[in-house]
Every structure is written in C-alpha cells, then in structure tokens.
Amino acid sequence: MTVDSIMNRNPKTVPMTETFGGAFAILMDLRIDSLPVVDTNGIYRGMFDLEDIWELLLPRAAMLGLKSLTDLAFVSDAKEAMHQKLQDAGARPVSEFLDAQVQPVHADTPVKEAILLFYKHQGDLPVVDRASKRLLGTVSPWEILQALR
C-alpha cells in the first residue's frame, strides 16, 4: 500500500504571501494542525504548523537545541505578553515561519514509511511530485488509520 491510495488530494493550502494571522485563523477555524504552503506555481515550500506557533510563544531559551531549558515551571504565566506576541506576528508573511524540517513524501512512498514518520512525532505529511516538486496532497494519521480500520 502506498501513500497515493490514501492521501487527501484536495488539502487546504496557503500561498507564500499569506500572513501569519491569516494562516493562524485557518488553523483555528478548521481545527487542523498544519497547512502546506505553496508558491504561485503550486510548488511545495514548507508546512506552517502548530509547532511554528509554539516557537513564537516560547522563550528562546527553550529552543537552544540539546542545551535548552527543559523546564519552565518557574516562569510566571503572562497571558497578555503571549497574546501580544501573536498580535505582533499577525502581519508578517507566513514564509518567515515555515518549518523546513517537514520533509515531503511521494505518491509511491510506502505507508509504513509514513507511519514511521508519524511515530517520530512528525505532523501531517505533504505529498509532492518527485520531479516538479508540486504539491499533490497531504497524508494525516487519520487517513492511514481509516484505511486500515
């Protein structure tokens, strides 16, 4: 079984020029975790996902790689400050926040490979054409589980 047989061929996408606020609103409205971002030729450029939002809200000290602070229990919550961060980012283009770490899969990728990627905590997977890099669709864990049910 390959990704081709189960992928969503008509996922919601946003262009590179979309703002952070606009993409954020789509995630909230559709209650989805990620959005593929494509350029004017339909070529996949990256995923905008919840991780990008968490990165905006967390202190830099929690994102220093292996030596990050692993605990923020001592930091007081400041809802206003976090709200302000979201507001400040609202007009910036979504391309500034893209998660380049999300590696796309292809239509002929075995589903087992997709399961392995989900096991490694990756979110929805973009499916792109091997040659043109155009976005063909996305695969979420739910589509795999639905197919196996």
Site residues, other proteins (CB under 8 A): 59-65, 67-69, 71, 73-76, 78, 81
Min separation Cβ 2 and other proteins, Å: 37
Closest CA to 85 of 112, 115, 56: 56
Cβ closer to other proteins: 74 or 119? Answer: 74
Q: Is 110 helix (H, G, I), strand (E, B) or coil?
A: strand
Cβ closer to other proteins: 57 or 147? Answer: 57
Residue type, 14: V
Please write down the long-range contacts of 49-52, taking CB distance under 8 Å and 24 or more positions apart. 49/99, 49/102, 49/123, 49/124, 50/123, 51/99, 51/123, 52/97, 52/98, 52/99
Min separation Cβ 85 and other proteins, Å: 11
Cβ closer to other proteins: 9 or 79? Answer: 79
Min separation Cβ 60 and other proteins, Å: 4
Min separation Cβ 23 and other proteins, Å: 22
Asked if residue 14 lies in contact with residue 37, where contact means CB atoms within 8 angstroms, the answer is yes
Cβ closer to other proteins: 28 or 61? Answer: 61
